[in-house]
Amino acid sequence: MMAQNIQATVQSTMLGRVPPGASNNKIYSAVFQGYPDVLDVKHVSELLGVSSKTVYRLLNEGTLDSLKVGRAFKVPKLYLLQYIKVIEHAQQQG
């Protein structure tokens, strides 16, 4: 349920349905409220609504930028927002 609300907020943000005067900081806070600044694979899969396996594929392909801490992938929120914009742009082109 929470992930669906986040996905709807992300989609409306990417489609330009942001209320007038809303700053990027407010959007950033609203979309990722309740999540740490650096996300693990589980968090990313919840936010995107995909499986962990799909997230690992995106990370290994380099489609989704990440940081490696030991053997673990860590995804700063900014990297996830950048990825979402890429998805949105690709959908508009297709």
- The three-state secondary structure class of 46 is helix
Q: In what order do the strands lie in the sheet with 67-69?
A: 38-39, 72-76, 67-69
Res. 83: pLDDT tops 70: yes
* Measured distance CA(27)–CA(32) in Å, rounded: 8
**Sequence ranges of the domains in the chain:** 2-93
Enumerate the H helices of the chain as residue ranges: 2-14, 24-31, 41-48, 52-61, 77-93
pLDDT tens-digit series, residues 17-76: 444 444 556 666 666 788 898 999 999 999 999 999 999 999 999 999 999 999 999 999
Q: List the structure tokens of 61.
A: 């392909």
Q: Quick check: pTM over 0.75?
A: no
* Structure tokens given for 88: 């949105």
